[in-house]
Amino acid sequence: MSSAHPLDNEHFRDELSNVDHKGSRLWIYPKKPKGKFYNYRIWFSWILMVLMFAGPYMKLNDRPLLLLNILERKFIIFGMVFWPQDLNLFALLMLSFILFIVLFTVLFGRVWCGWACPQTIFMEMLFRRIEYFIEGDAHQQIKLDEQEWTGQKILKKTSKHILFWILSFVIANTFLSYIIGVDELKLLVRDGPVAHLGKFISLAIFTSVFYFVYARMRELVCVFICPYGRLQGLMLDKNSLVVAYDFVRGEPRGKLKKDVITNNGDCVDCKLCVNVCPTGIDIRNGTQLECVNCTACIDACDEVMVKIEKPKGLIRFASLNGITEGAKMGLNARNVAYTIVLAALFGVFVYLLVTRKLIETTMLRTPGMLYQKQQDGKISNMYSIEFVNKTFKDLPVELKLIEPKGDIKIIDGEKIIVHKESIGKTSFFLNVDPKEIRKNSTPVTLEVYSNGILIESMQSKFNGPVFKNTH
């Protein structure tokens, strides 16, 4: 007997589960999930949520563990400060991260979406649970929405949306803390909105966006907006492990009839897997863009299989090849290539990180300034020098001239101190004996030291009148 392939019936491709034939939104009422995978998800989500909410308060070296201050272009990752000058490192980190996601998706499908994405975690573990608590399970929610406005309905809807607003406000605060830092946020609380109007407006915007996403947008974010979701079709192949329906075992589907022996497969067409799906799809149609791998359908189907005394796993984590040919998940050429590229990128990233300069120096001959002749006959050029101190300590800096022979005169004092996590600038004159000037533009080499340690060797040019070489 040949098994019916779900793709033999392709009408599901012509319509969306959450849009009717006129193009209006169909509200999805997923049935409250329960089961082994859902319990794992609860535990995993709570661990992630604790980390997410506590993240801005966690410090390393007295710095936030993670700060992504786009406004001031300052980024702290695991207590290490990254400046715009570290753009190469940051770009490489982002590239490695994107490649990691691609590789991970090739191997394990969209498991990130269902298990670790903040959008899903907040939606399913906070907002949806509040909804179940106040309005009941899916069928009670449908009933409530269909009934006339009564005092009880107003009370339920109002309390739900007030709680949604409060939760959105808490999430917006956390989100903002990752951008400006928790200390800045405390200032906003202490001084009030008028004193920090910009931050207050940002907070209000973030709160409104989060509320709109969780109260109205919901699965539309995963299906239409998230670029990762839309790209997954490019990343998955027949060996990718995804939440999949075993059509070989399940088809032909059909209702169980008492005392009637049929040739049906194990699927009893109860549609419980569809009813629990937060994106409203029927996984029996095969892997679809809308599936966030939340595993709610696995739990629902396993419960049915137990009841009808069939083995669990009609819907399970499996690859298409695993289902059709019984093939085990293995490495293919694409996976190996991705792994090699990822390892190489990561290696370069670690190398750059380890050899990253803690003081970055930029030296320029001051533009528009010609050489000057000093009273002692020496020729001088003026230079501007800028230091970026990426450490958490104030650092003294000394300059040592290597070539040509001459001396350095720092304009605003002899000692240069670059304060922690800041940019220091100064100017200096380089005084050179005319005999040292061989050409119109003499090469200059200058070394930068801090606490006796060579930080950087700088190159520049020295301008002066051409003297005839008498040597």
The nearest distance, CB 421 to ligand SF4, in angstroms, is 44
Count helices and strands in the chain by DSSP H and E runs: 16, 16
Binding mask 332-371 for ligand SF4 (x = CB under 6 A): ----------------------------------------
The verdict on 269 binding ligand SF4 (CB under 6 A) reads yes
- Show the DSSP H helices in 147-258 as ranges: 151-180, 182-191, 197-212, 219-220, 227-235, 247-250
The verdict on 236 binding ligand SF4 (CB under 6 A) reads no
The nearest distance, CB 143 to ligand SF4, in angstroms, is 23
Q: If we measure between CA atoms, which residue out of 320, 159, 169, 153 comes closest to residue 244?
A: 320
Binding mask 37-56 for ligand SF4 (x = CB under 6 A): --------------------
Q: How far apart are CA 315 and CA 299, in angstroms?
A: 9
Applying CB under 6 A, among 295, 361, 381, 442 the residue interacting with ligand SF4 is 295
Q: If we measure between CA atoms, which residue out of 141, 318, 123, 299 comes closest to residue 219?
A: 123
Q: How far apart are CA 342 and CA 365, in angstroms?
A: 41
Applying CB under 6 A, among 126, 180, 281, 416 the residue interacting with ligand SF4 is 281
The verdict on 270 binding ligand SF4 (CB under 6 A) reads yes
Specify the residue, 273 or 323, whose C-beta has the smaller distance to ligand SF4.
273
The nearest distance, CB 30 to ligand SF4, in angstroms, is 8
Q: Which stretch binds ligand SF4 (CB under 6 A): 59-67, 286-294, 318-326, 425-433?
A: 286-294
Q: CB of 111 within 8 A of CB of 293?
A: yes
Long-range Cβ pairs for the range 164-171 (8 Å, 24+)? 164/127, 164/130, 164/211, 164/214, 164/215, 165/207, 165/211, 167/122, 167/126, 167/127, 167/130, 167/214, 168/207, 168/208, 168/210, 168/211, 168/214, 169/203, 169/207, 170/53, 171/122, 171/206, 171/210
In the range 239-268, which residues lie near ligand SF4 by CB under 6 A?
243, 245, 250, 267-268
342: tokens are 């990822």
Q: Which stretch binds ligand SF4 (CB under 6 A): 88-96, 123-131, 276-284, 373-381?
A: 276-284
Q: Is 354 exposed, middle or buried (0-12, 13-18, 19+ CB in 10 A)?
A: exposed
49: tokens are 């949520």
The verdict on 273 binding ligand SF4 (CB under 6 A) reads yes
Is the peptide bond preceding residue 252 cis, with omega within 30 degrees of 0? yes
Specify the residue, 247 or 462, whose C-beta has the smaller distance to ligand SF4.
247
The H or E element that residue 135 is part of is helix 128-135
Specify the residue, 64 or 114, whose C-beta has the smaller distance to ligand SF4.
114
The verdict on 117 binding ligand SF4 (CB under 6 A) reads no
Q: Which stretch binds ligand SF4 (CB under 6 A): 278-286, 336-344, 397-405, 431-439?
A: 278-286
378: tokens are 């020496």
Sequence-distant (6+) residues with CB within 8 A of 213 are: 119, 221
The verdict on 120 binding ligand SF4 (CB under 6 A) reads no
The verdict on 458 binding ligand SF4 (CB under 6 A) reads no
The verdict on 272 binding ligand SF4 (CB under 6 A) reads yes
DSSP for 406-457, please give it.
EEEEETT-S-EEEPTTEEEEEEEEEEE-GGG--SSEEEEEEEEEETTEEEEE
Q: Could you tell me how many residues of this chain bind ligand SF4 (CB under 6 A)? A: 29
Q: Which stretch binds ligand SF4 (CB under 6 A): 17-25, 186-194, 300-308, 348-356?
A: 300-308
Interhelix angle 151-180/128-135, nearest 10 degrees:
160
The verdict on 65 binding ligand SF4 (CB under 6 A) reads no
- 3-state SS of 38-61 is HHHHHHHHHHHHHHHHHHHHCEEC
Specify the residue, 38 or 338, whose C-beta has the smaller distance to ligand SF4.
38
The verdict on 126 binding ligand SF4 (CB under 6 A) reads no
Q: How far apart are CA 391 and CA 398, in angstroms?
A: 17
The nearest distance, CB 138 to ligand SF4, in angstroms, is 13
The verdict on 123 binding ligand SF4 (CB under 6 A) reads no
Binding mask 315-334 for ligand SF4 (x = CB under 6 A): x-------------------
Specify the residue, 37 or 428, whose C-beta has the smaller distance to ligand SF4.
37
The verdict on 297 binding ligand SF4 (CB under 6 A) reads yes
The nearest distance, CB 458 to ligand SF4, in angstroms, is 57
The verdict on 314 binding ligand SF4 (CB under 6 A) reads yes
Q: Which stretch binds ligand SF4 (CB under 6 A): 150-158, 167-175, 287-295, 460-468?
A: 287-295
Q: How far apart are CA 131 and CA 156, in angstroms?
A: 9
Binding site for ligand SF4 (CB under 6 A): 243, 245, 250, 267-273, 276-279, 281, 283-284, 291-297, 300-301, 304, 314-315
